[in-house]
Structure formats: structure tokens, C-alpha cells
Amino acid sequence: MSTAIPGTLANRRTRAPTVKSVFIEGFEWFGEFGIFCARVFRAAVAPPYEFGELIRQCDIIGAKSLPLVALAGAATGVVLSLQTHDALTRFGAKSLLPAVIVFSIIKESGPVITGLVVAGRVGAGIGAELGSMKVTEQIDAMEASAVDPYNFLASTRVLACVLMLPLLTLAADFSGLIMGWIANALADPISFRLFLENGFKNVLFSDFIPPTFKTAIFGLIIGVVACFQGMRTTGGTEGVGKSATSSVVLSSLFVILADVVLVRLILMLWG
């Protein structure tokens, strides 16, 4: 009678995850994630406060993400101008192009593009950095030295993400408006002043403030998810790569889901 050879297709099928195991792992992940969030928030409000590390993380997350965010915002402005120009021209509404660009960028495109770009850059960086510290036992060494890693490592990065995302969104909006005007001016010459007057003619603070500050929620999601995935890394260098990848995937997914909820909430509160 033949015996099954380890690693064969039959054995791999028997080890395939079942629906039940997937649900159990999902519930376990959310449970551990909730406990992690509670520990991070408790560490963030309790002294000592790591202002030096917070400023360093603001520089890493904010200043070093600025060129990429500005480039993404500029590309968004050009694409919006090129795509909507022909459509509005067909319907005889070419004069509405500045308003369409302004409303599209400041209400949705700018915040979402910023959140996704930062999730890709910062999420991977935090996940890989904390993951490498975990597998090399640096986090365990910090705990042995009476340094709270949830305070020094996690809370500073989460707070830096929350503070920097609205500022990066402003940079993306500005770059998108500038490049949107340039793309529009190349097709139909228009002064920058007239472009802004037509674009912001009917814009209210309720159109600008809530979409900009909702990115603070995006920053909270990115920071917490990336820190959680990094600080639970196992399996050596392979685990570090998996943590970086999962940080980007999960934070981007949660940013999109949060945007759906926040857009609906903003419409309910501000109309």
C-alpha cells in the first residue's frame, strides 16, 4: 500500500484553508487589532511624551512624502482637465471646466489620492521598519530596558500620520489646481486669476474643510494598521516582506472603505 509523499498535491489540498479557518483567523485578527489600538491610544495619552521622535516621524512621513504627493496631485489635475474638456465642449458647457476641476480635486480626488499614495509609501516603510525590529528582537530589548514600544514606536508614528495627512492633502490640491490650469490654458488660453475666480465662485468652506480634514482619519488608519502589522511580524526576513505588503494592502483597502463612510457622513451633516 502506497503512502502519501509530503509536499504532493493531495497533501497540499488537505492543508488548504477552509472557510471556517478563514473566518476564525479574521476574527482573531480584528480582536488582536482592537487590543493593539487600545494599547497605542493609552500609551499616547500617558507620559512620557516623545516629542523628539514625533518631530522626526513628521519629517519622514510629511516632508519626504511631499514630492510624491505633489506629483500625484499634479497628474490628477492634468487628467481631469484633459478628460473633462472634451466632454464639456460637446455639451456646450466649456465655461464650467474650472469649477469642475476645483470641485473634483478639493472634494474627492485630492484627499483620496493623498491617502492612497501615503498608504503605499508610508505603510510599507512603517511595516518593514517595525517588522525588522521585531524579528531582530529590538522591540523585546526596548521592553527589557523599560521603554514602552507602544509609546515610542507606535503612537509617534500614528500621530505623525494624523497630523501630516491634511497638510499633504493641501499640497496635492494646490498641485492639482496649478496643473489643471496649465492643461486648460494650453487648450483654451485663460489667466490664472480668471481660472480661480470661475472655479471658486460657488465654493463654500463646507466644501473644503470636511474633505481635507477627513484625511486625518486616513492617517489614523494608515498609522495604526502599518504599526500593527509590523509589530506582529514573525518568520524572519520573509515575514518582514509579508508585513510590508500586508500593511500597504490593508491600509489602502481601509482608506477606501473609510472614504465611503465619511463621504456619506459629510453629506448627512453638511448637505
- pLDDT band at residue 215 under the 50/70/90 scheme: very high
Q: Cell numbers of 40, please? A: 497605542
What is the 3-state secondary structure of 62-103?
CHHHHHHHHHHHHHHHHHHHHHHHHHHHHCCCHHHHHHHHHH
Give the tens place of pLDDT for each residue, 172-206.
Answer: 999 999 998 888 888 778 888 888 888 888 878 87
Higher pLDDT, 35 or 88: 35
Kindly list the domain boundaries of the chain, sorted by start residue.
Answer: 50-270
Is pLDDT at 12 greater than 70 in this prediction?
A: no
Cα gap 64→167, rounded to integer Å? 13
Residue 128 has pLDDT above 80, yes or no: yes
> What local confidence, expressed as pLDDT, does residue 11 receive?
45
Look at residue 24 in the predicted model and tell me its pLDDT. Answer: 83
Residue 7: DSSP 8-state: T
Rounded to the nearest 10°, the torsion over CA 47, 48, 51, 57 is -90
Tens digits of per-residue pLDDT, 50-84? 888 889 999 999 888 999 999 999 999 888 888 88
The pLDDT of residue 13: 45
pTM: 0.85
| Per-residue confidence band for 2, with pLDDT thresholds at 50, 70 and 90 | very low
Q: pLDDT-based confidence at 4, cuts 50/70/90? A: very low
Write down the pLDDT at residue 15: 56
